A and B are shown apart, each in its own frame.
Chain A
Amino acid sequence: MKKLMTTVAAAIALAAAPAHADTVLHVLSWQPAYVDGTDYWKKTVAGFEAENPGVKVESNFIAFAQYLPSLTAMIASDSLPDVFNGGTKTGELGRSGHLVNFKDVFDDKFFAQFFKGPLRQYTFDDKPYGLPDMAQDFGIFANDRIMKEVGVKMPNTWDELIADVPKFKAKGYIPLAWGNLTRNTCPDFFLPLIAQYGGDVYALDDHTKPGLSWDSKPVIDALGLVQKLAKAGVFPEGINGIDDSQGQQLAYQGKAAMLFGGSWTPGIFAQNGTKDWLDNYSVNKVPALTPDGIHYAGDGAGEAWSVNADSPNKDLAVKFIAYLYRPEVYNWRAKGLQSFLSMQSAVDQIDNPKVKTMISWIGTDSADPILFGPGSWDAVSNVCQSTLDGSITPEDGAKKIEADVMAARENN
């Protein structure tokens, strides 16, 4: 029966196949904007196909919510596309040998075009398995009108922020809004704090240095700070039940004085923000530990392209990557997405001066907010969530992260 079904299926497939055999390059992303519909992607694809006759680029996308499970299924059945966003799987995929090591195919001059932080994000054991497409860093957006009304200047240190809380509360404002329903934003907030306390998140994620453990002082201190802030009333109540959109709403509605968000958020303001917000918001670095401390905030790359090392079209795929990162071609995407860039050459493509400001921080105040090691993300986001609502102490939290990470690595 199965043979019959396979034959029938093959017959159907043959009947539907095109008459001529182009080489098809499969590209997969969770960015719907990369799939037909935007001018810049159309232009990008058309340009590549023109330079390479006989090649067709097929761009597919899977919605973000389902992307990584689908990728897992593809990995499990050896059906990875040629070029794709590896996401948080990039590290393990690369280490298992399924991805092209870009150092093998590109030279130092090529890598020098990228901002260091985003590139570092996708480099494992000194091998870049992904090339960042769009990057991000984080900051605090403040409603200057409310700040003036409350009589508060943008706090430079965390202690200043805590000291200002009563002033905000007196006028009925939430000091700093954001939401953690999806569990993603807390690590974005918390991990760079480890850097502020002198820890090295990249190393913790790799977990290869002997004696290095999540159960260490910088981590405990960072968790402690998060909990202190939560207890002092800096964050909205029930923050674990608020998602990112709702956190933004608190700012738009004038219920919160400040909003913690990434560099992609100004783009969202344009779409959803109220007039009061759009007229009055300013972008600021997150507070530091001390008046002259470094204002470490997360930076990294949300999307990076990887190439399937097992693909028969590997060389063609690499060629496509090289094409994607030609400055002129990259500029099309940069201008179209108006998001944060991974390549320095494209800074002029950004229209929004506030985003430009955030980009300028990326050289000095960057720290890793994305984790790739087995089990790391789950471990950290769970403990982070419990830290926010006070159900776990910083010491126990750090121990739990370490225990969960070790358990996950052992079972791998």
Chain B
Amino acid sequence: MAERLRNPPSRLRSLAVPALFIAPAGLALVLLMAVPMADAVALSFQNWNGMKPPTWVGFGNYVRLAQDATFFRALWQTVYFTVCTAVLQTILPLLIASLLNSGIRGSTVFRTLYFMPVIISLAISGLLWAMLFEPNFGPVNTVLRFVGLGGLSQLWLASPTTVMPSVILVSVWQSLGFYLVIFFAALQAVPKDLYEAATIDGANAWRRFINVTVPTIRPVIVIVVVLNTINGIKVFDQIWVMTAGGPDYASATLGTYLYSIAFGAMGASNSRLGYAAAIAIIILLLSIVVSMVQIRLGRRKDIDSQIEV
């Protein structure tokens, strides 16, 4: 275990060097991100349709949000989406990565194939899947009928009950390869001797997985969960292209609701830019709070591990 040598004790000294490293990036962030973001925050306190001059309404938009049933529906559906995708997009890639890591051949080929959906943009995959899910003769239902499982065929995106699961399926389909590659790399680096020690103690494959693999790659799991959560809370592109939040808000999330408020579902004439900005702030706050909690929970101050996440 290495010791941590500290910099000389002066407080000013301890700030100057890191500040120099961070300053360029910080400056870029302030200029390119903070300015538009500050505008958005300011906008959330106004009413504006883009055409007439804006009017200040203080917390009016937030108050209205608190009474907006569709907002809460979108919020609930976002939570549902995020929890499902965070769980599925963490566990499935991990399990599959483990399979790939079990000494079989051709793992590189598999990994590359699994990664291909990641390369497609979200808008395109939304378009593709909208077509695949078409109820009458889209490929999904056609294949189901072909293999005799016609009873399982659904209306998919057309029905309020199946639309969220369909959308979640598409998200998992697209992200699987990405997190798979992450986990695969993590698994590759787990020291062999840990497994051998466990085997000698009589552990079978599953026990080894739970007691050796998972704790060792815990920081990676936390990162994956955090990334999945952040992406889930702000999800927009795929859902918008497939359903525009429909049918009748059955697949609306905070991200799609924001867009339809700002620009209308068909870009209709009614832009409520201030109200939309308020929703954006909610998304941001939600993400920050949830990921802070996750990172804190995932942290482990362990003398055997120097790693903090």
Contacts and interface: CB of A to CB of B under 8 A. Distances in A.
A–B in direct contact per CB < 8 Å: yes
A94 B156 CA distance: 41
A339 interface: no
Contacts of A67: 267
A239 B47 contact: no
Contacts of A14: none
Interface in B46-60: 47-52
A72 B47 contact: no
A385 B248 contact: yes
B275 to A, nearest CB: 7
Contacts, number: 152
Interface in B141-166: 155-160
A372 B247 contact: no
Nearest to A375: B270
B269 A377 contact: yes
B267 A241 contact: no
Contacts of B157: 181, 240-241
B167 interface: no
A98 B248 contact: no
A249 B133 contact: no
Interface residues of B, number: 44
Given A2-B31, A389-B158, A241 B133 contact: yes
Nearest to A249: B137
B273 A76 contact: yes
A382 B263 contact: no
Q: Which of A241, A408, A412 has the most CB of B within 10 A?
A: A241
B93 interface: no
Nearest to A372: B269
B51 A98 contact: yes
A391 interface: yes
A366 interface: no
A92 interface: yes
B209 interface: no
Interface stretch (A83-91, A126-134, A157-165): A83-91
Given A183-B244, A389-B159, A5 B31 contact: yes
Contacts of B159: 238, 240-241, 389
A179 to B, nearest CB: 9
A2 B157 CA distance: 47
A87 to B, nearest CB: 7
Contact of B248 (A238, A374, A382): A382
Given A88-B268, A255-B137, A373-B269, A75 B246 contact: no
A72 B27 CA distance: 29
B130 interface: yes
Interface string B252-291: 0000000110111111111111010000000000000000
Given A87-B267, A240-B158, A389 B247 contact: yes
A412 B136 contact: no
A238 B136 contact: yes
A181 B138 CA distance: 14
B271 A378 contact: no
A184 B266 contact: yes
B265 A250 contact: no
Interface residues of A, number: 55
B249 interface: yes
Contacts of B27: 1
Nearest to A95: B51
Q: Which of B49, B131, B273 has the most CB of A within 10 A?
A: B49
A265 B264 CA distance: 26
Given A72-B263, A237-B155, A378 B51 contact: no
A243 B243 CA distance: 10
B268 A378 contact: yes
Contacts of B264: 68, 88, 377-378
Contact of A181 (B130, B259, B266): B130
Contacts of A88: 264, 266-269
Contact of B249 (A1, A2, A382, A408): A382
A98 B52 CA distance: 10
A375 B70 CA distance: 15
Contacts of A374: 49, 269-270
Contact of A68 (B155, B249, B263): B263
B270 A246 contact: no
Given A240-B158, A246-B131, A391-B160, A378 B270 contact: yes
Interface of A: 1-2, 5, 67-69, 71-72, 75-76, 87-89, 91-93, 96, 98, 174, 181-184, 236-243, 246, 249-250, 253, 255, 371-378, 381-383, 385-386, 389, 391-392, 408, 411-412
26 contacts: A67-B267, A72-B50, A75-B51, A76-B50, A87-B267, A88-B269, A89-B267, A96-B52, A181-B130, A181-B243, A182-B244, A246-B136, A250-B136, A255-B136, A377-B264, A377-B269, A377-B270, A382-B249, A385-B246, A389-B247, A391-B247, A391-B248, A408-B272, A412-B47, A412-B270, A412-B272
Given A72-B267, A92-B270, A253-B137, 8 more contacts: A68-B263, A181-B158, A182-B244, A236-B135, A372-B269, A377-B269, A378-B270, A391-B248
